[in-house]
Amino acid sequence: MESKITLAHGSGGEKYRELVQEIFLPAYSNEYLSPLTDSAILEGGGKIAMTTDSYVVRPLFFPGGDIGSLAVSGTVNDLAVSGALPKYISVGMILEAGLEMDVLKRIVDSISNTAEKAGVKVVTGDTKVVESKSADEIFINTAGVGIFPSGRIIPTQKIEAGDRIIISGCMASHGMAVMNARNNLGFFPPIESDAAPLGKLVDAIFMNENNIIHAMRDPTRGGVAATLCEWVTSTTDIIIYQGSVPVRPDVAAACRLLGLDPLHIANEGIILFSVPEKCADSVLAALRKEEYGKDSAIIGEVREGRGTVSAVTDFGSKIRITMPNGELLPRIC
């Protein structure tokens, strides 16, 4: 095996087959992929959920994750929050000629490990190679397919007055981890991303058939604030209890130092739920039993209103929460 990716690896010939046989197949090995047919033939039946996302994160490897683990968990989570059980993913890659083979192998292994953790199989894929400088090392696209277990009520994705807002873990970790790594901000120990596949977390809620979820979403870019602003309608208001939104101390400190609002920072390992008040406690209990749900908390409520999202402090002041704008830049002055 060569030490670097070349154009030949992408041209469908001997070198490409070598890549598939020596790197992809051993990592992803399963009965759907092994025949290496043009399409994977899968079990479905009934409603299916499908999603796709592309991953261009820099740096490629950061504390708590990498582009590979992100490519799996991001897509798995999009399936999970639609109420589906994630089952299959495809992995499409565009590689820059000159990419170190070791780097590719590390990323592929990470995809494999995360897929196993998430309970999904990599069933098909594609790899292209472009000339040096035509792509930035590696871009990945993953598409995911999920199924709906019988009896599962698919969330309407509409919040309702009276709902409680629940968060499954600490906010802002991923965005701060990547910002610190990419810009060499000098925080130590390095801040870790929260990137994780959350299919099992959502499943745990549905185990109790009395649990109803009105809406759920993984608050990626734009953070918790963006999701809440997208959820609110012209006949509802969302109120968040400011001190109740969990955030890791190191992340909170880094946000304070850079003058950033953690509500606006990207997450890759948490889910926001809007659930009827009567289910709130049991949803919370189900989440807290899970590996990725230990810091779950009720953080707010939905009331009848006119489309405002706001936070209340413990001394009674009220603050508007708005959509964040563009790429967040640390402020000092």
Partner 1 sequence: MCLAIPGTITKIEDMEAYVDYGGVSKCADIRLVENVKVGDIVLVHAGFVIQILDKENGEELQKLVEETMGIIYK
Partner 2 sequence: MKNSIEDLINAIKLLAETMSEVSIMEVCGTHTASIRKYGIPSVLPGNIRLVSGPGCPVCVTSQEDINMALSIADSEKVIFTCFGDMMRVPCGDKSLYSLREAGRDIRIVTSPMDAIDISKTNPEKQVVYFGIGFETTAPHTAALVDEIDKQNINNISVLNSHKTMPQAITHLLKDECRVDALLCPGHVAAITGSDAFSFVPEKLNLPAAIAGFEAYEILAAILSILTMLKTNRKECVNMYPGVVTKSGNLKALELINRVMEPEDAVWRGLGSIPGSGLRFRDRYAGFDATKRFEIPGNKTQEPKGCLCSGILRGENIPTDCGHFGKSCNPHSPMGPCMVSSEGSCFSYYRYRDV
Kindly state whether residue 243 participates in binding partner 1, applying the rule CB under 8 A.
no
Binding part of the chain for partner 1, among 117-125, 247-255, 270-278, 285-293 by CB under 8 A, reads: 247-255
Q: Which residues pair with 297 in a beta bridge?
A: 167
- DSSP-assigned letter for residue 73: H
Kindly state whether residue 322 participates in binding partner 2, applying the rule CB under 8 A.
yes
Q: CA-CA distance, 78 to 206, in Å (whole number)?
A: 17
Kindly state whether residue 308 participates in binding partner 2, applying the rule CB under 8 A.
yes
**The one among 11, 134, 208, 313 contacting partner 2 by CB under 8 A:** 313
Q: CA-CA distance, 256 to 270, in Å (whole number)?
A: 21
Q: State the binding partner of 317 from partner 1, partner 2, none, CB within 5 to 8 A by kind.
A: partner 2
Kindly state whether residue 184 participates in binding partner 1, applying the rule CB under 8 A.
no
Kindly state whether residue 317 participates in binding partner 2, applying the rule CB under 8 A.
yes
**The one among 185, 212, 229, 252 contacting partner 2 by CB under 8 A:** 185
Identity of the amino acid at 102:
D
The CB-of-332 to partner 2 minimum distance in angstroms stands at 4
Kindly state whether residue 186 participates in binding partner 1, applying the rule CB under 8 A.
yes
Q: State the binding partner of 325 from partner 2, partner 1, none, CB within 5 to 8 A by kind.
A: partner 2
**Whether 180 contacts 187, CB under 8 Å:** yes
Kindly state whether residue 134 participates in binding partner 2, applying the rule CB under 8 A.
no
The CB-of-331 to partner 1 minimum distance in angstroms stands at 7
Kindly state whether residue 133 participates in binding partner 2, applying the rule CB under 8 A.
no
Binding part of the chain for partner 1, among 84-92, 109-117, 163-171, 256-264 by CB under 8 A, reads: 256-264
**The one among 87, 121, 214, 248 contacting partner 1 by CB under 8 A:** 248
CB-based contacts of 252: which residues, under 8 Å, 6+ apart? 172, 262
**The one among 19, 191, 272, 279 contacting partner 1 by CB under 8 A:** 191
Q: State the binding partner of 189 from partner 2, partner 1, none, CB within 5 to 8 A by kind.
A: partner 1
Decide the pairing of beta strands 85-96 and 121-130. parallel
**Whether 121 contacts 115, CB under 8 Å:** yes
Kindly state whether residue 310 participates in binding partner 2, applying the rule CB under 8 A.
yes
The CB-of-233 to partner 2 minimum distance in angstroms stands at 17
Identity of the amino acid at 306:
R
**Whether 205 contacts 272, CB under 8 Å:** no
Kindly state whether residue 265 participates in binding partner 2, applying the rule CB under 8 A.
no
Kindly state whether residue 316 participates in binding partner 1, applying the rule CB under 8 A.
no
The CB-of-100 to partner 2 minimum distance in angstroms stands at 22
The three-state secondary structure class of 181 is helix
**Whether 221 contacts 70, CB under 8 Å:** no
**Whether 148 contacts 154, CB under 8 Å:** yes
Q: What is the CA radius of gyration of the chain?
A: 21
Binding part of the chain for partner 2, among 46-54, 156-164, 278-286, 307-315 by CB under 8 A, reads: 307-315
Spatial strand order in the sheet of 85-96: 48-55, 138-147, 85-96, 121-130
Which among 172, 162, 146 has a CA at the least distance from the CA of 249? 172
Per-residue CA distances from 189 to 66, 185, 247 (Å):
18, 12, 17
Q: Which residues pair with 49 in a beta bridge?
A: 146
Whichever of 207 and 332 has its CB closer to partner 1, that residue is 332
Give the count of alpha carbons within 13 A of 76, CB side only.
31
**Can you give the binding site for partner 2, defined by CB under 8 A?**
183, 185-186, 257-259, 261, 308, 310-311, 313, 315-320, 322, 325-326, 329-333
**Can you give the binding site for partner 1, defined by CB under 8 A?**
185-189, 191, 248-254, 256-257, 259, 331-333
